[in-house]
Amino acid sequence: MNSFADVWFSNQGWTAHAFQKKTWSAMAKGRSGLLNAPTGYGKTMAIWFGVLHHYYIQRKVKKGKDTRKLHCLWITPLRALSSEIHSATTLVSDDLALDYQIGLRTGDTSTKIRQAQKKKPPQALVTTPESVHILLAGKGYTEYFSDLEFVVVDEWHELMGSKRGVLIELALSRLKALNPKLKIWGISATIGNLEEAQDILLGPENSGVMIKSAIKKKLQIETLLPEVLEKFPWAGHLGVHMAETVIPIIEKSQSTLLFTNTRSQAEIWYRQLLELKPDWAGAIALHHGSLSNEIRMWVEAALHEGSLKAVICTSSLDLGVDFRPVDTVVQIGSPKGIARFLQRAGRSGHQPGALSRIYFLPTHSLEIMEGASLKFAVKEGMMERRIPYIRSFDVLIQYLVTLAISEGFKAEETYNEVKNTHCFSSITQDEFNECLLMITKGGRSLGAYDEFHKVVSEEGVFKVTSRRIAHRHLLNIGTIVSDAMIQVKFMSGKYLGTIEEWFISKLKPGDTFWFSGRNLELVMVREMQAIVRSSSGKKGAVPSWMGGRLPLSADLGVALRHSMDVIHNPVKLKSPELQFLSPLFEKQRELSALPAEGTLLIENIQTKYGFHLFVYPFEGKFVHEGMAAVIAFRLSKIKPATFSIATNEYGFELLSDSPIPVEEALELGLFSTDDLVSDIRLGINTTEMARRRFRDIASIAGLVFQGYPGKPIKTRHLQANSALFFSVFEDYDPGNLLLRQAYDEVMDFQLESARMYAAFVRISTHAINLTFPSRLTPFSFPIFAESFRERYSNEDWQTRLGKLKDRLEK
Amino acid sequence: MDFYYKEELIQLLPEKVAFLPEHQILVVADLHLGKASHFRKEGIMIPLPEISPDLQRMDELIMSLKPTTVVFLGDLFHSSLNKEWEGLKGFLLCHPAIRFILTKGNHDILAASVMDDTSIEVVDEFEVGKYLLFTHEPEAIVEEDKLNIVGHIHPGVLIKAKGRQSFRLPCFHYHNQCLILPAFGQLTGLHILKKAAGAKIYPVFSDEVIALP
C-alpha cells in the first residue's frame, strides 16, 4: 500500500492504525482531506508517509529532471510543535536513507538559514502561518512555490478560531492559484464543527475526505475537594490554599503537569510549591509563553527525559508535543471550556492504550460545581464549536500590502482569489475597492493634494516602492497583538524572558518582583531592557500579562445549568462535588434563593459600593456581557444612569451609584424579546467594547506600528495609540470599513448575538424570582469580586463628569 | 481656575491653555501640528480634515481672549515639513499683530531657515516678569522664587469614582516650582502621572478646571 510506511513501521515493530492506512490510501489517490485523531497515535506519520509516497512516485514519472523545489509546506501554530515535527520527519528520512530533506522556518530561524532555504529549497518546510506570509512577501515567491504539491495544516482547530486562520485561508488562496492541483490536508482535534472546519480549509471547489480514528482515549477525572467547605473562599482564582492537596499527587506520579490559566498564576504556584517543599528545587519547573526560548526548551527537554517531577505551565504546553513520562495532569481553576480540558487531560498517558488522568482543582466554592459539570459534559460528548472569523478586513489589508511588497498584485485577480475564501465569501466589489483605497490613498474622504504614500499602482499592478514601508510592514506581519514588551536580563546578559512595559514602569530600581520562578531585584531600565539581579528576598510583586483572561465556553455553560438543575433533585444528587457543596447552597437559600429551572433569580443588594443588581442566567460569560449591556440600556431608559458591569460564568452584575428601578423595569418587560435586536445595537454602540476591539484591528491593518518583541525600533515620531485612531475615525470617517469591523466583531465574537437572542427567548418564558438579600450571597460574591469591568452609560460624558466634579468638590 | 504664584495670576482654562491676564499672554503646549500628515506620509492612514481642528480652536481662543503674545511651549510642529505647515502659515498671517514665541521642543526639528520664514520667534527659554520662566521641558534646576512653566509631558490623571468607575483626564500639574500644561493638540495621548507628595493636580473638565483635594 505505502511501501515506505510498511518498511518503517515494521522496523519500529509497530502496526499501522486503520486511520493511518486510510489516510495513505486517500493521499495516494490525490485527495485532500481532514484527519481527526487523538494525539499520541501517529497523526503526523499518517500524513507524512502519504507525502513521501507521492514525492517518490512522481519523481519516477518525471525521471531525469531533478531541479529540487519545495514539495510540501507543513504549517503549525507553535514553534515548539514545528521543531517537534521537524525532528520526527527528519528521523524518517534518516532511518530510510531518503534524500527527502526537511527545513524548519520559524521566527527563531537565523537569516543565514533562511537564505539557504530560499536559494536551495528543501523538499519540505515546517513553518508557522506568519512565516508563510513572510515568504509571500519575498520576491520570487511564485517561482519558489511553483512545484508545491502539499500544504498540511497541523492543529487546524486551534488556528481556525483566530485571525491566524484567516492568514492561512488567504495564503492558501494564493497557493491554489499558483498550483491548481494543490492538495490540502488538515489535522484537527475533535471540535463541535469538524465538517465546517474541513470546508473552510479545503475551500468550496475541493471535495475532500474526512478521516476519523475510532480510537477513544480512556479518561479519568477527579475533583480535588478542600477538607472543609466553611474555610474555602467564596471567590478568588489563584487556589494556592489548595497547594497542599496536590503534593501527594505529584509524589505518587512519575511526572505531573499543572495547568494554570494565566502566566502570573503559574509564577505564584511555582513559588508556593517550593515554599511547601523546598527540597523540590530543581525537580519542578515553570513553563509559560513569556519565558525565554532557552528556558522553555530546557524544560521541554527535561520533560522528555523524565527528569522533572512536575512542571507548572500555561496554555504554552497545551498543544501537540508529546511528553511520554507525563502520567498525571492537574487543572488549576476552571478550564473554561470542555475542549481545552480534554486537550490538557490528553497531555498525560501518551502511550497508546494508557489512561489519561486529570485532577480538577477548584479555586473557590462555586467552582467546585464545575467539576460535576465537566464530568457530565465529557460523558455526554459535548464539544465546543470553533467560530471562524469572517470579513476580517484588517487581515486583508495586511495581506494586500504583503503581496504588494513582493511581486505586486492585480486587483481583479486578487479579488477573485480572496472571494473564494470562507472569510471573504461575502465581500463586495465596493468593499474590496475601499480596502484598495485605504492602502493607495489612505481612505476615501480626501480632497486636495495629499502626501499619502504606501501602495502605488503601476500599469494595473499594485506595488510598494518605498523600502522603508516594506521593511516596516515585514516586521508587522501577523495577527498576534501584544503590548510593548520589556526584555528581562541579568547583568551578565543572560536573557530570562519578557514582561509587559506597564508592569516594569510601576517599579523603581531596588524593587523586587517574581519572574521565571526567581526573586529579582530591578537594577535599571535601559531602552527596552530591564536589567535585574537575583535577590534573596521573599517579597515582591508578580507581573501579570494582559490578554490572559478566557471566557467560559457556552457549552460548559449548558453543562453548568444541568448541574444547577440536579441540585433541586435530591434523588439524583449523587455527584460528590454537588453533595460537598450542599451547605453552601443552603446558605444561598437562606439569604436569597437557589436558581431553579424555569425561574430566573435576580438579587437586589445595597452595599457601601452602591446599588447592585445580580442576575443568574447561567449562559456563559460571553452571553452575559451582552445581556448585561442590554439590561443596562433598558434600565437607563427609565432613568438615565451609569453602570459598572461585571460578569462571570453564572451571571452578571450591574452596579450603580443610585437605586436601580428594577421592579418598574420588570413590569415594562426587562427581559422581553420585543425590540431586542435594536436594543442590542443601541446598548452596544454606547459601550466601549468596539474601542477595545479596534486595538487589534488597528495594529493588524498597520495603523499602529509595534515592532517586534526583542527588536524595539525607534518610532517615536510615529507613535499614537489605537484609541486615538478610533476617535479620529469616528469623527472624520465614521463609515470606515475597519471601524465597522470593530463593531461586527463585538457582535459576533464578544457577544455571540445569536446565542444571546436564544437566551432572551428562553428567559422570557421564565418566572422571575426577585430577592432583596441583606448582604452579598454565595452566588453573587464571585461576580462582585471580578476585577475586570465594562462600563455602560447613557448619561452623557458631561453629566458623568459633572457628578464626579460635584463629589470631588464636596 | 485661578492659580497664583507670588503676585502673578495664571488662569488655567478648560481649553487646555493658560492665560496671563496681566501680561495678555496665552500659553499653549504641545500642538503637534502636522502629525496626521506625517503619519500619512509614512503610509499610516488617518483621516485628515481640510482645516486643522487644532488651529480652529486656536482662532477661537485668540478671538475671545485677545492676547498680545502667544507662547508655544515646544512641540508646535510634529516632525518634518508637510502640507499642514501651509495651514500654520495661513493661521499666523491672520494674526499679524500678535507676537508668537516658541520655546523649542524635541519634536521641533524644522530647519531654522524654515522657521525664519514665519513670524515665530524661536527661543530656548522665555522670561516674563520677575518670576516666570517658560521652557519646553522642565528645567533640572530652577532658581529660587521662580516658576518654570512647561509642556512636553502631556500630563493626565486617573480618577477613581463611586460605582467602580474611573476617568482619565488631562490635567495641569504643579510640583516643586514647576507648572506643567496639558497637551493642546488633538492627536496627543496622555501620560498618567503618579501623585507625588506636595503636588497639586488640576484636572480639565469640558467646561472647567478644578483643583483635586
Q: Is A280 found in the same domain as A247?
A: yes
Rounded Cα distance between A605 and A753, Å, is 29
Q: CB-based contact (8 Å) between A721 and chain B?
A: yes
Q: Which residue has the higher pLDDT, A60 or A201?
A: A201
- Closest residue in A to B78 (Cα) is A717
Min Cα distance A795 → chain B (Å) is 13
Q: CB-based contact (8 Å) between A640 and chain B?
A: no
Interface test with chain B among A449, A724, A789, by most B beta carbons within 10 Å? A724
pLDDT above 60 (res A499)? yes
pLDDT above 90 (res A699)? no
Q: Name B194's Cβ contacts closer than 8 Å, sequence gap at least 6.
A: none
Rounded Cα distance between B54 and B71, Å, is 15
CB contacts under 8 A, A 677-706 vs B, are 702-703, 705
- CATH classification at residue A120: 3.40.50.300
Q: Which residue has the higher pLDDT, A449 or A143?
A: A143
Band (B9; pLDDT cuts 50, 70, 90): very high
Please compute the mean of the pLDDT values over residues A625-630 and round it to a whole number.
86
Band (A711; pLDDT cuts 50, 70, 90): very low
pLDDT above 60 (res A300)? yes
Residue where a domain terminates, one of A379, A410, A427: A379
Please compute the mean of the pLDDT values over residues A280-284 and round it to a whole number.
92
Band (B161; pLDDT cuts 50, 70, 90): low
Rounded Cα distance between A268 and A296, Å, is 18
Q: CB-based contact (8 Å) between B160 and chain A?
A: no
Average predicted confidence (pLDDT) for chain A: 85
Tell me the residue type at A403. L
- pLDDT reported for residue A712: 46
Percent of chain A scoring above 70 in pLDDT: 88
- pLDDT reported for residue A124: 96
pLDDT above 50 (res A715)? no
Residue in A679, A793, A697, A791 with CA at minimum distance from that of residue A744: A697
Helices A554-567 and A576-591, axial angle in degrees (round to 10): 80
Question: How many alpha carbons lie under 13 Å from residue A148 in its C-beta half-sphere?
Answer: 27
- Reduce the DSSP state of residue A362 to 3 states and report it: coil
Band (B42; pLDDT cuts 50, 70, 90): confident
- pLDDT reported for residue A482: 63
- Among A442, A447, A466, beta carbon nearest to B40: A442
Q: CB-based contact (8 Å) between A445 and chain B?
A: yes
- pLDDT reported for residue A448: 45
Please compute the mean of the pLDDT values over residues A764-791 and round it to a whole number.
85
pLDDT above 80 (res A230)? no
Q: Which chain B residues have a beta carbon less than 8 Å from that of A721?
A: 189
A199 assigned to some structural domain: yes
Tell me the residue type at B100. F
- pLDDT reported for residue A286: 93
Please compute the mean of the pLDDT values over residues A310-330 and round it to a whole number.
84
- pLDDT reported for residue A484: 63
- Closest residue in A to B185 (Cα) is A724
Please compute the mean of the pLDDT values over residues B76-86 and round it to a whole number.
77
Question: How many alpha carbons lie under 13 Å from residue A21 in its C-beta half-sphere?
Answer: 7
Q: CB-based contact (8 Å) between A791 and chain B?
A: yes
Q: CB-based contact (8 Å) between A453 and chain B?
A: yes
ipTM of the predicted structure?
0.73
Contact B212 A808 (CB under 8 A): yes
pLDDT above 70 (res A801)? no
Q: Which chain A residues have a beta carbon less than 8 Å from that of B159?
A: 804, 808
Band (A166; pLDDT cuts 50, 70, 90): very high
A428 assigned to some structural domain: no
Residue in B47, B38, B42 with CA at minimum distance from that of residue A437: B47
Query: Which of the residue ranges A232-236, A408-412, A443-447, B61-65 would you say has the lowest mean pLDDT?
Result: A443-447
Structural domains of chain B ordered from first start: 2-203 (3.60.21)
Q: How many domains does chain A have?
A: 4
Band (A709; pLDDT cuts 50, 70, 90): very low
Min Cα distance A645 → chain B (Å) is 9
Min Cα distance A610 → chain B (Å) is 6
A262 assigned to some structural domain: yes
A120 assigned to some structural domain: yes
- pLDDT reported for residue A287: 92
Please compute the mean of the pLDDT values over residues B161-169 and round it to a whole number.
70
Q: Is A489 found in the same domain as A344?
A: no
- Among A449, A642, A702, beta carbon nearest to B44: A702
Phi/psi zone of residue A222: left (φ > 0), alpha (ψ -120 to 50 degrees), beta?
A: beta
Q: Is A774 found in the same domain as A679?
A: yes
Q: Is A374 found in the same domain as A271?
A: yes
Min Cα distance B129 → chain A (Å) is 33
Domain residue limits at A514: 485-534
Contact A445 B47 (CB under 8 A): yes
CB contacts under 8 A, A 100-129 vs B, are none
Please compute the mean of the pLDDT values over residues A535-553 and round it to a whole number.
68
Contact A451 B47 (CB under 8 A): no
Min Cα distance A193 → chain B (Å) is 38
Query: Which of the residue ranges A32-46, A162-176, B59-73, B173-187 would you say has the lowest mean pLDDT?
Result: A32-46
- Closest residue in B to A804 (Cα) is B161
pLDDT above 90 (res A154)? yes
How does pLDDT run across A431-452, given as a tens digit for each residue? Answer: 999 999 889 888 765 544 466 7
How does pLDDT run across A194-215, given as a tens digit for each residue? Answer: 999 999 999 987 779 999 988 7
pLDDT above 90 (res A35)? yes
- pLDDT reported for residue A176: 95
- pLDDT reported for residue A224: 92
How does pLDDT run across B124-138, given as a tens digit for each residue? Answer: 999 999 999 999 999
Q: Is A197 found in the same domain as A229?
A: no
- pLDDT reported for residue B164: 58
Contact B45 A705 (CB under 8 A): no
pLDDT above 90 (res B77)? no
Min Cα distance A802 → chain B (Å) is 8
Contact B165 A448 (CB under 8 A): no
Residue where a domain terminates, one of A379, A396, A422: A379
What count of CB pairs under 8 Å joins A to B?
115
Q: Is A136 found in the same domain as A241?
A: no
A427 assigned to some structural domain: no
- Among A454, A725, A802, beta carbon nearest to B43: A454
Interface test with chain B among A445, A687, A808, by most B beta carbons within 10 Å? A808
Phi/psi zone of residue A2: left (φ > 0), alpha (ψ -120 to 50 degrees), beta?
A: beta
Q: Is A375 found in the same domain as A250?
A: yes
Q: Is A207 found in the same domain as A148?
A: yes
Q: CB-based contact (8 Å) between A654 and chain B?
A: no
- Closest residue in B to A437 (Cα) is B45
CB contacts under 8 A, A 305-364 vs B, are none
| Secondary structure in 3-state letters for A156-223 | HHHHHCCHHHHHHHHHHHHHHHHCCCCEEEEEECCCCCHHHHHHHHHCCCCCCEEEECCCCCEEEEEE
Min Cα distance A534 → chain B (Å) is 28
pLDDT above 80 (res A354)? no
- pLDDT reported for residue A445: 55
A467 assigned to some structural domain: no
Q: CB-based contact (8 Å) between B16 and chain A?
A: no
Residue where a domain terminates, one of A379, A409, A435: A379
Band (B55; pLDDT cuts 50, 70, 90): very high
Q: What phi and psi, each to the nearest 5 degrees, are found at residue A702?
A: 85, 20
Question: How many alpha carbons lie under 13 Å from residue B205 in its C-beta half-sphere?
Answer: 20
| Strands A124-127, A72-75: pairing kind | parallel
Q: Is A203 found in the same domain as A267?
A: no
- Among B82, B164, B189, beta carbon nearest to A644: B164
A278 assigned to some structural domain: yes
Q: Which residues of A487-519 are buried (b: 16+ CB within 10 A; e: fewer)?
A: bbbeeeeebbbbbbeebbeebeeeebbbbbbbb
Q: What are the grid coordinates assigned to A28, written together?
A: 495516494
Please compute the mean of the pLDDT values over residues A563-570 and round it to a whole number.
75
Tell me the residue type at A255. S
Please compute the mean of the pLDDT values over residues A594-607 and round it to a whole number.
88
Q: Which long-range contacts (CB under 8 A, 24 or more apart) does A230-236 make?
A: A230/A583, A232/A364, A232/A365, A233/A364, A233/A365, A234/A364, A234/A365, A234/A366, A234/A778, A234/A781, A234/A782, A234/A785, A235/A364, A235/A781, A235/A782, A235/A784, A235/A785, A236/A363, A236/A364, A236/A785
Q: Is A163 found in the same domain as A286?
A: no
Q: Are B38 and B202 in contact (CB under 8 A)?
A: no
- pLDDT reported for residue A572: 60
pLDDT above 70 (res A550)? no
Min Cα distance A810 → chain B (Å) is 10
Min Cα distance B126 → chain A (Å) is 26
pLDDT above 70 (res A710)? no
Please compute the mean of the pLDDT values over residues A143-170 and round it to a whole number.
94
Contact B163 A728 (CB under 8 A): no
DSSP string, chain B: -EEEETTEEEEEETTTEEEETTTTEEEE----BTHHHHHHHTT------SS-HHHHHHHHHHHHH--SEEEE-S--B-SS--THHHHHHHHHHT-TTSEEEEE--TT----HHHHHTSSEEEES-EEETTTEEE-SSPPSS--TT-EEEE-SS-EEEEEEETTTEEEEEEEEEEETTEEEPPP--TT---EEPP--TT-EEEEB-SS-B----
pLDDT above 70 (res A804)? no
- pLDDT reported for residue B13: 95
- pLDDT reported for residue A431: 95
How many separate helices (H) and strands (E) can be counted in chain A? Answer: 31, 27
Between CA A271 and CA A280, with CA A276 as vertex, the angle to 5 degrees is 75
- Closest residue in A to B79 (Cα) is A717
Highest mean pLDDT among A246-250, A285-289, B105-109: A246-250
Residue in A423, A427, A388 with CA at minimum distance from that of residue A411: A427
- Closest residue in A to B187 (Cα) is A724
Please compute the mean of the pLDDT values over residues A627-647 and round it to a whole number.
88
Q: Which chain A residues have a beta carbon less than 8 Å from that of B206?
A: 797-798, 801
Q: Are B176 and B129 in contact (CB under 8 A)?
A: no
pLDDT above 70 (res A17)? yes
Highest mean pLDDT among A470-474, A713-717, A723-727: A470-474
pTM (predicted TM-score):
0.80
Q: Are A430 and A439 in contact (CB under 8 A)?
A: no
DSSP string, A88-137: HHHHHHHHTT----EEEESTTS-HHHHHHHHHS--SEEEE-HHHHHHHHT
Query: Which of the residue ranges A148-157, A684-693, A733-742, A765-774 would you say has the lowest mean pLDDT?
Result: A684-693
- Among A656, A705, A724, beta carbon nearest to B187: A724
Q: Are A554 and A619 in contact (CB under 8 A)?
A: yes
- pLDDT reported for residue A548: 44
Q: Is A255 found in the same domain as A207?
A: no
Average predicted confidence (pLDDT) for chain B: 87
pLDDT above 70 (res A808)? no
Q: Name A106's Cβ contacts closer than 8 Å, sequence gap at least 6.
A: A79, A82, A83, A127, A128, A131
Band (A247; pLDDT cuts 50, 70, 90): very high
Please compute the mean of the pLDDT values over residues A255-271 and round it to a whole number.
90
Please compute the mean of the pLDDT values over residues B147-166 and round it to a whole number.
82
Rounded Cα distance between B5 and A687, Å, is 42
Q: CB-based contact (8 Å) between A610 and chain B?
A: yes
Please compute the mean of the pLDDT values over residues A219-244 and round it to a whole number.
82
- Closest residue in B to A717 (Cα) is B79
Strand order in the sheet with A456-458: A409-410, A461-463, A456-458
Q: Is A195 found in the same domain as A246?
A: no
Please compute the mean of the pLDDT values over residues A690-714 and round it to a whole number.
70
- Across-strand partners of A409? A462
Band (A262; pLDDT cuts 50, 70, 90): confident
Please compute the mean of the pLDDT values over residues A600-618 and round it to a whole number.
92
Host H or E run for residue A10: helix A3-12
Contact B83 A449 (CB under 8 A): yes
A722 assigned to some structural domain: no
- Among A468, A472, A642, beta carbon nearest to B163: A642
